[in-house]
Amino acid sequence: MEIKFPHVEVELVGQNGNAFVVLGACTSAAKKAGLTKEQIDEFTEEAMNGDYDHLLQTCMKWFDVS
């Protein structure tokens, strides 16, 4: 699987496993990396369109997650 934005690094290891924390960490990293509001909104919409497993898969699809 090719990561959509490999330059956006998100560290989820050691974070609270709450879906809102995961989503917040990803959107924060995306903003810091300079993604546009539209790109972040697209990520958020896709990430929230399923269960917790879908959220994690979407994060890994979009960003370099560790």
Please state, rounded to an integer, the average pLDDT across all residues of the chain.
Answer: 95
Q: What is the pTM of this model?
A: 0.92
19-47 tens-digit pLDDT: 999 999 999 999 999 999 999 999 999 99
- The DSSP bridge pattern shows strands 63-65 and 5-10 to be parallel
Q: Which helix (H) or strand (E) holds 9?
A: strand 5-10
How high is the pLDDT of residue 25? 96
How high is the pLDDT of residue 65? 95
Tell me how far apart the alpha carbons of residues 15 and 42 are, in angstroms, rounded to a whole number.
23
How high is the pLDDT of residue 59? 97
